[in-house]
Amino acid sequence: EEEQELTGAGGGLSDKVSLYKGDITVLEVDAIVNA
């Protein structure tokens, strides 16, 4: 089975999603999901 890159309307998924390990209360972001 071939691997496929996950993409959205504006490009690759990595352009939209980030992993962060640390104090999320100091982040200046629009949304935090599954925190």
pLDDT 10s digits, 1-33: 566 655 555 567 777 777 888 888 888 888 877
For residue 16, the model assigns a pLDDT of 74
Alpha-carbon distance values, 19 to 8, 10, 29, 32, 34 (Å): 18, 19, 13, 11, 11
What's residue 9's pLDDT?
A: 58
How high is the pLDDT of residue 17?
77
What pLDDT does residue 11 have? Answer: 62
The predicted pLDDT at position 33 comes to 79
Is 0.85 surpassed by the pTM of this model?
A: no
Q: Which residues contact 20 (CB under 8 A, 6 or more apart)?
A: 27
Strand partners, 12: 7
